[in-house]
Structure 1
């Protein structure tokens, strides 16, 4: 595995795709001055920067001032593309409600004690046993079956993802279990240090939505440099022409990336961006 200073870079870098938590952001959820300067310099050099995250669009305030020309971000693990200039969702790739209900039922049977949250395009709602979201005080609290039910079929807000939390299972073991029993019906991943699964529509991922956004711009995978740290970044790291796992990354992200950079608290993304710009 090569490092931030010797891993091959694309002959021409046209787009930088970076995860946020554990990658671009420091552990205190801020951007360092060095990283802020590197992002601005990349944009000034004509390189597009895409934030590609598991976060919903409403949690993007920490980086929205640093989106320059296009203003777009890929949110909810690829289930939404948002315009950070005004907070609108430009497109969604939702999880079918009937599929979501079937997955909930399957996980309840296979992993007693699991609790769920439902991330809609309009906000998050969760079950009484689910760890509460202090950032969303207006959330509805009810069982997942009720949260996923529509008064009139087809009239509810798009389901971007369902989250499943288990208080006892090991995170990777929970992910493996879910993929084994329901991976033919939905996409399962994780980005939390706890046993918290993120469930999206089948085939929805950061990589798939990033590839679509790049295709619209005439940008190939070989012209993309990607950064990430957790299992929800694996497909993106594998897809990009050059990719870097953070020094603090999960082993699956390290295995998928073409190189490893410094940790998020050591400005690992900025180190590589500076190298890209120096080589132009």
Structure 2
């Protein structure tokens, strides 16, 4: 069941949806109902953007379900990815490595025990004590100072991970704390270094995602919409975690999943069923029925 906004919006021209906890089931699959709804939306002339904190290399789960333009917004707005071209990154809004180092030093002082990972366009690298949620055999394991050094070079393996740091800019810095409450950690980090970069979170653990100052899902989505002549009033957005809030408040119509973080429930104009109950598909079906 969905709880739609009280005021009917302008006709929908674009759907922007988060993935984990929103479009995907908890087992990281896309249901048949959702696949059908996405295809029907694009067939009706409504563009669909996947807008996620995921890196490009984790987009295979939905790349077969993109039609039309084939673009996705990844890394919380730091990358625009062409899913029709082997998840190729076509636009980057990087985090300057010197700024990232300043953030590392500030968070170490504010929250001792914090460890870091560095997400570059070529892959992820992390500190020895950082808990890698998915092991990456190509990752360099070293202190953040080395991972963010100007002369950092990825391992000399065949493929796109080769090359100097300048060839593979930083998309985001990840900071993990083993003990702090996730929301408290976010508040603390923003107080310590929010003037340097953009901080958000999408994990149930105390894991922060740090992008260049002003970089967000909302900012990149807004730019993509402007290029297409689409206004916020013509966008319907879906999300479940704090990294979705700016996008949800920017869009003319927004839906929180039933499983959403309390701050997301406060920020949205509508409610829909949980990710496991195909809440995004339910709204898309309703939009198409009303058309």
Q: TM-score, normalised by structure 1?
A: 0.97
What is the aligned partner in structure 1 of residue 64 from structure 2? 65
Unmatched runs of 5 consecutive residues or more in structure 2: 153-163
1:250 corresponds to which of 249, 261, 266:
261
Equivalence for 2:94: 94
CA contact (8 A) 2:3 2:271 kept: no
Distance 1:30 1:110, change over 3 A: same
Q: Is the 8 A contact 1:163 1:196 kept in 2?
A: yes
Q: 2:238 aligns to what? A: 227
Match of 1:14 in 2: 13
Q: Structure 1 stretches (4+) deviating beyond 6 angstroms?
A: none
Which digits, 9 at most, give the CA deviation of each residue in 1:179-198, with x for residues without a partner? 11111110000000000000
Alignment partner, residue 76 of structure 1:
75
* 8 A contact 1:5–1:272 mirrored in 2: no
Query: 1:231 and 1:91 mapped to 2: Cα distance?
Result: 24
1:111-122, aligned counterparts within 5 Å? 111-122=111-122
Unaligned runs of 5+ in 1: none
Distance apart, 1:156 and its partner CA: 4.5
Aligned to 1:4: 2
CA 1:5 to 1:108, structure 2 compared with 1: closer, same or farther past 3 Å? Answer: closer
- 1:154 is displaced (CA, Å) by 7.5
- Written as runs of structure 1 = structure 2, the 5 A alignment for 1:1-280 is 4-7=2-5, 8-86=7-85, 87-151=87-151, 155-280=166-291
Question: Which SS does the other structure have where 2:106 is aligned?
Answer: helix
With normalisation by structure 2, the TM-score equals 0.93
- 1:135 deviation in Å? 4.9
Residue matched to 2:156? none
On the 8 A contact 2:217/2:243 being kept in 1, the answer is yes
* TM superposition shift of 1:133: 4.1
**Residues paired across the two proteins, number:** 278
**1:74 alignment partner, SS class:** strand
Which secondary structure does the structure 1 equivalent of 2:178 belong to?
A: coil
2:158 paired residue number: none
Give 1:5 shift.
Answer: 4.2
Change in 2 beyond 3 A, CA 1:95/1:233: same
Query: Is residue 56–residue 76 contact of structure 1 (8 Å, CA) maintained in 2?
Result: yes
